[in-house]
Amino acid sequence: MIHWCYKVAAFFALCLLVACSSATPRLDKMAPLPGNFTCRVAVLPFQDHGNYPRGAELFYKVFSTELVSAAAFQVVQEGDVLDLYRQLTIFPSQEPTLEQLRIIGSRLGVQLFIGGDILRMVERRSGLEVVTELTVVLRLYDGRTGKLLWETYHKRRGRDYRIIMHFGRVNTITGLARRMSKEIINLWIEQGMNQCAK
Amino acid sequence: MKFFRLTALALLLAAFFPPAAAGAGSLAVFPLLDLTRDANGVNLPLTGYLRRQAGKLGNTLIPAKEIMAFMVRHRIRTLGRLDSQAIAAAGKELGADLILQGTVCQLDQTPSAAVALSLQLIRTSDGRTIWTTTKALSLDDLQNLLALSDPETMADLFKVYFPTLLASFPGKINPAGPAGVGLTLTSIVLRPEYVQPGRRVECRVIISATSRIKPGSKASIQVGDRVYPATLNEEEYGVTASWPAQRAAGTYQVTLVVKQPSGRRETVILGRYHVDNAPPSLVVHAVGKELDGLVTFSRSLAIITTMPDPELLDRWNVAVFNKDNETIVYQEAAGQVPERINWNGYTSGSIPAPDGVYLIRVSAWDRAGLTASAEQKVALRRTPPKISLDVEKKDRKLRLALANSVSTPLSFWWLRIYQDGGRIVKAAAGDHFPADVTVDLPEHAAGSKFELILVAQDVLGNRTRRKVKDLLALTAKAQMRQQENETESQWLEDF
């Protein structure tokens, strides 16, 4: 009887592991997005918890470009966001408070903020292949209230995209960041985030 | 059938009239940020490569020297992240319709040669990013099935990479762009952050040139439901205003309102300030033995300062005054008052303060500049017990009369009388003076010397230790005076 219990527990553990390595990002909705969304968004500096040198800056650049090209959002210039951080004496490695978010939202005239954390970023050679791994959490905040609306967790490895042999595998961390950014943005659009007209 | 005709017509037109190049506008290619070097690294060789590729698309390129001079003039020290003000200035001063800025995300030889760039094309008229691309390529991406003629070096990689980098570069761009939206601010000064009721609050704002303030626009400042007039300088895009702080304590949000001649109203939250109308509350409590209604100490006094209604402070100071109201100790610092301040009984000049009554005053200023102070009188007593000893001998009995001329109560005293050879003849102890001690001298003690050791300590820890080598010699008063010179009175650091 106990033997069977172990087998059932192992089966469920396996199911959980499979669920964790899902190909699609996991989206949690805390509150609905603002109704009068006008396409103008600001991407806040990401918090870097990974070991890749300047990983947060790299992901910021890639994600911002994908946001413009994939969904035609009007993204506030990174320089403007950093200017405000400087004026409000917030370090880029620091998360703004609710009050600071409200001020930034009003000053930049945005309806949405995008912020997040880089949890893991790896690029290394293992045998003949380059191993790339990226785990991120991205959050959508209301531009007027600073309230957290959506949170997305996404974790992929370059080899997840392999079709056959080495074909399809993503061999650079920038390429992986781009693919994952696209997947996240596509999911947001599917889930009701208004896409601006190109 | 109709579809095929239209397609054929489109192909014909495309063959004779190729799509318009972006050359209609001038392009400034700014130096690439190279994240592989450091957070603000520059990569000029790749920038040059990119310039050549952009030039091949028919763009009118702004000379690199002019761009560098522009960056020096505007003190642009960070690459790859121009702000709206710099973008607008580039459009005005360089005559650039478009700006191409980018980041070298990867440029690796190991673990596998790889290059990755992220580019942004910005229209200077409205500061909008109108085209972006991120392209990453690794040698591993170019592996063939049988590894035949696989690229091996970074140069091989560049040959494949750069021709395709700008493949999706837009062919037609409207340099004017759509009408600008909202107000963008370049800088803002709103001060003070904490203010007393009635004091002036002022703000100075610079509006970004991209915001297109039309002549005849009016600016005002809205705080709660009150509206204060503001001065709008249309040439410098500056707004200045000043108003008295509210009477009621609280946090007030400041909003800039710009009314365009068309009636359009733009609002931007500038920040908040806090009105504070209550001074900080301070209570000082000195920890020590209470004697004669005053906290008294001899070596170290702990001063505990508490705030019944805690708030953040700007600065504080502590001062000690003597009976002539002269300041003998002064110390100040920024921030909160420490929970515990120790005074060692010395002046600020490191001189021991004499015994006496002192006033300790702690003062604090909150962030709005409101001040409060609390004080307490304390007494310093350093003088150890002064013991007088009278000795009388009668037959074989010795009578010792002990007294203390210092008013501080005793904590304890003890004495030992030793005969030659170290035998204890008498041991006695007590906790107050005066005291009488009677000693029975042993038989056959003629010619022997009796040594006395006497220790007394008061409640504050001041201690006296006295040693008399020949107790019998004290029976005469004159001899006692001589012995006084041998009296040992000392402070003990610790007990």
pLDDT tens-digit map of B1-27 = 444 454 444 444 343 333 434 445 788
pLDDT of B264 > 70? The answer is yes
Tokens representing A142 are 């209301």
CB contact under 8 A, B111 and A178: no
At residue B478 the predicted structure's pLDDT band, cuts being 50, 70 and 90, is very low
Chain A: residue whose CA lies nearest to B85: A80
Query: Which residues from B are below 8 Å from A79, CB to CB?
Result: 78, 81-84, 86
pLDDT at position B354: 93
Tell the CATH topology of B283-380: Immunoglobulin-like (2.60.40)
- Residue B145 has what pLDDT? 59
Decide: B468 and B389 in contact? Cβ < 8 Å: yes
Judged by CB atoms closer than 8 Å, whether chains meet at B112 and A130 is answered as yes
Contacts of B446 (CB under 8 A, 6+ apart): none
Choose between B486 and A160: higher pLDDT: A160
Structural domains of chain A, with CATH: 25-190 (3.40.50.10610)
pLDDT of residue B283: 94
Report the pLDDT averaged over residues A22-33: 80
CA B84, A40, A44, A176 torsion-angle sign: negative
Q: Dump pLDDT digits (tens) for B185-218.
A: 777 788 888 999 999 999 988 887 666 677 788 8
What is the pLDDT at residue B159? 81
Q: Give the closest-approach CA distance of A149 to chain B in angstroms.
A: 22
A166 at B interface, C-beta within 8 A: yes
**Distance from C-alpha of B399 to C-alpha of B402, rounded to nearest angstrom:** 10
Question: In the block, which residue shows the tokens 């601006």?
Answer: A196
Chain A residues inside the 8 Å CB shell of B169: none
Contact flag B114-A57 (C-beta cutoff 8 Å)? no
Residue A102 has pLDDT above 70, yes or no: yes
Least trusted range by pLDDT, from A14-18, A59-63, A167-171: A14-18
Q: How far is A177 from chain B (nearest CA, A)?
A: 10
What is the pLDDT, as a whole number, of residue B268? Answer: 80
Least CB-CB distance to A77: which of B83, B114, B131? B83
Answer whether B186 sits within 8 Å of A130, measured CB to CB: no
pLDDT on residue B229: 92
Quick count: other Cβ atoms within 10 Å of Cβ B46? 19
Residue B352: pLDDT above 50? yes
Nearest to B138 among A109, A124, A172 (CB): A172
Q: Kindly report the CATH number that applies to the domain delimited by B387-484.
A: 2.60.40.10
Structural domain spans, chain B: 24-165, 185-275, 283-380, 387-484
pLDDT score of B15:
39
Which residues of chain B does A109 touch, with a Cβ-Cβ cutoff of 8 Å? Answer: 181-184, 268
Residue B148: its pLDDT value, please?
61
Tell me the shortest Cα–Cα distance from B280 to chain A, in angstroms: 25
CB contact under 8 A, A125 and B111: yes
Most confident of A7-16, A41-50, B141-150, B418-427: A41-50
pLDDT at A197: 45
- pTM of the entire structure? 0.57
Q: Which superfamily does CATH assign the domain made up of B24-165 to?
A: ABC-type transport auxiliary lipoprotein component (3.40.50.10610)
Is A77 within 8 Å of B129 when comparing Cβ atoms? yes
pLDDT digits (tens, 9 = 90+) for B379-393: 999 999 999 888 888
Confidence (pLDDT) at B279:
92
Confidence of residue A57 (pLDDT cuts 50, 70, 90): very high
For residue A171, give the nearest of B114, B119, B122 by CB distance.
Answer: B114
CA–CA distance, A153 with A20 (Å, rounded to integer): 10
In terms of Cβ atoms closer than 10 Å to its own Cβ (0-12, 13-18, 19+), residue B251 is: exposed
Cα–Cα distance for residue pair B478/A139, rounded to 1 Å: 95
Report yes or no: B131 and B140 within 8 Å, Cβ to Cβ: no
Give pLDDT, residue B492: 47
Mean pLDDT value across residues A179-197: 81
To the nearest whole number, what is the mean pLDDT of chain B? 83
| Best CA proximity match to B240, nearest among B265, B215, B205 | B205
Using CA atoms, how far apart are residues B122 and B85, in angstroms rounded to an integer?
A: 13
Interface test with A, best of B134, B212, B255 (most A CBs within 10 A): B134
pLDDT at B12 (0 to 100): 40
Check A109 against B103: CB less than 8 A apart. no
Does the beta carbon of A21 lie under 8 angstroms from any beta carbon of chain B?
Answer: no
Mean per-residue pLDDT, B267-288 = 88
What was the pLDDT predicted at B480?
A: 52
Helix, strand, coil percent content, chain B, rounded in steps of 5: 15, 45, 40
For B185-275, CATH gives 2.60.40.10
A70 at B interface, C-beta within 8 A: no
CB contact under 8 A, A65 and B138: no
**Set of chain B residues whose Cβ sits within 8 Å of the Cβ of A106:** 255, 267-269
| Host H or E run for residue A78 | helix A78-87
Comparing B422 with B456, which gets the higher pLDDT?
B456
Of B119, B140, B268, the CB nearest to A171: B140
Task: Look at B81 and A66 and tell me if their CB atoms are within 8 Å.
Answer: no
B463 pLDDT band, cuts 50/70/90, is: very high
Assigned token pair, B381: 């007593």
Res. A15: pLDDT tops 60 = no
What does the DSSP 8-state code read for residue B122? Answer: E
Q: Which residue has the higher pLDDT, B172 or B281?
A: B281
Looking at per-residue pLDDT, the higher value among B236 and A90 belongs to A90
Question: In B, which residues are within 8 Å of A179 by CB distance?
Answer: none
The ipTM estimated for the assembled molecules is 0.82
Could you identify the residue written with the tokens 């790889």? Answer: B114
Most confident of B83-92, B119-128, B410-419: B410-419
Contacts of B185 in chain A (CB under 8 A): 107
The shortest CB-CB distance from A172 to any of B110, B116, B118 is to: B116
pLDDT class for A91, splitting at 50, 70, 90? confident
Least Cα distance to B272 among B352, B190, B350 occurs for B190
Ordered strands of the B463-468 beta sheet: B424-430, B410-419, B450-458, B463-468
**What single letter denotes the amino acid at residue A166?**
H
**What is the distance in angstroms between the Cα of A188 and the nearest Cα belonging to chain B?**
20
Look up residue A68 and give its amino acid: V
Length of chain B: 495
Q: Tell me the mean pLDDT in the region A151-171.
A: 81
Chain A / chain B CB contacts < 8 angstroms = 128
> What residue in A sits closest to B116 (Cα-Cα)?
A174
> pLDDT for B76-99, tens place per residue?
888 888 888 889 888 888 888 899
